Amino acid sequence: MNTMQTDVGKIKRVLLKHAKDAFRDEQQIEQEWQALNFLAKPDRYNAIREYDLFCELLTKLGVELCFLPDSENTTLDSLYPRDNALATDKGMILCTMGKHNRQTEPQHHKKFYQQQAISVLGEIQKPGSVEGGDVTWLNNNVIAVANGYRTNPAGIAQLKELVSSSVNDFIEVPLPHFRGPGDVFHLMSIISPIADNTAVVYSPLMPVPFRNYLLDSGYRLVEVPEEEYDSQGCNVLAVAPGVCVAVEGNPITRKRLLDAGAEVHTFSGKEICEKGCGGPTCLTRPLERETE
């Protein structure tokens, strides 16, 4: 059965923005990396090399790759297409970005969807904002949405209306201030579902009611240690139930995933993940998933 209301079903097709197109040239990188709060200046050559290996891994795992075209009207952050749109069984929902520098990105998605005859259910309208990294699907058509610096109450209200006829529960998760409005902090900074009733989490930043909801719902929580949080330990992409793609360099989290019965595939993400604070979920916008 095909459904988009899952973050753990087998990915059949995914939308990407290749590093060579997001990081167009050295001049763009020099002009943008600090303004976009990258932790360090990306090395374009190595970023492209890493990205090619990431694409090879996804292909090896049976995922069909689709690519957004390059554009002079997007920034380095366009490398992370997860944030620009949400997927539902009734069509895509185009986001309005809470990060000002990224305002043009959803319209590039809209053009792609129109060209590919992919249905669009609706768009979040200003002053509302919703970013895809702040939204995740849980079991039984439950959608969890952050209330934070990137996704605001006006956007949440619009999203709730758009999905009202196709969800069983709508959970609003208030996020902490943490490192402030300039930080890249989303709901999926603290949770990555990887299988039915299993999720990778960073509990120190989880609201207690949300964590309790997961436990009461029967979730097994794979805990990320503090020393692996900033290296994208909590950002894990499920390409199929229990089949995970993760950034190299988080051995404790990897062992805990293996102990939980997961199959783990890693890739080097120094340039394309760690510097821009976006892991494999951020790099991907699944367009088609399959469940049993």
pLDDT of the residue at 17: 98
Give average pLDDT by consecutive 10-residue segment, the chain, 292 residues: 91 98 97 95 98 98 96 95 97 96 96 96 98 96 97 98 96 96 92 97 98 98 97 97 97 98 98 96 96 78
Per-residue pLDDT at 221? 98
Domain boundaries along the sequence of the chain? 10-290
Q: Among all chains, which residue has been given the structure tokens 């009461």?
A: 216
pLDDT for the residue numbered 122: 98
Contact 23, 254 (CB under 8 A): no
**Residue 241, amino acid:** P
Annotate the chain with three-state secondary structure: CECCCCCCCEEEEEEECCHHHHCCCHHHHHHHCCCCCCCCCCCHHHHHHHHHHHHHHHHHCCCEEEECCCCCCCCHHHHCHHHHEEEECCEEEECECCCHHHCCHHHHHHHHHHHCCCCEEEECCCCCCECHHHEEEECCCEEEEEECCCCCHHHHHHHHHHCCCCCCEEEEEECCCCCCCCCCCCHHHCEEEEECCEEEECHHHCCHHHHHHHHHCCCEEEECCHHHCCCCCCCCEEEECCEEEEECCCHHHHHHHHHCCCEEEEECCHHHHHCCCCCCCCCCEEEEEECC
Euclidean distance between CA atoms 267 and 269, whole angstroms: 6
176/45 Cα distance (integer angstroms): 36
pLDDT given for residue 228 in this prediction: 97
Do 29 and 41 touch, CB atoms closer than 8 A? yes
pLDDT of residue 266: 98
Task: Give the domain 10-290 fold.
Answer: L-arginine/glycine Amidinotransferase; Chain A (3.75.10)
Contact between residue 4 and residue 167 where contact means Cβ atoms under 8 Å apart: no
Q: What is the pLDDT of residue 3?
A: 86
Instruction: Report the predicted TM-score, pTM, of the whole model to 2 decimal places.
Output: 0.96
User: Quick one: which of 113, 139, 96 has its CA closest to 3?
Assistant: 139
CA distances from 101 to 85, 140, 149, 257, 268 (A): 16, 35, 14, 35, 27
CA dist 200 to 44, 114, 144, 244, Å? 30, 34, 15, 11
Report the alpha-carbon distance of residue 164 to residue 170 in Å, rounded: 8
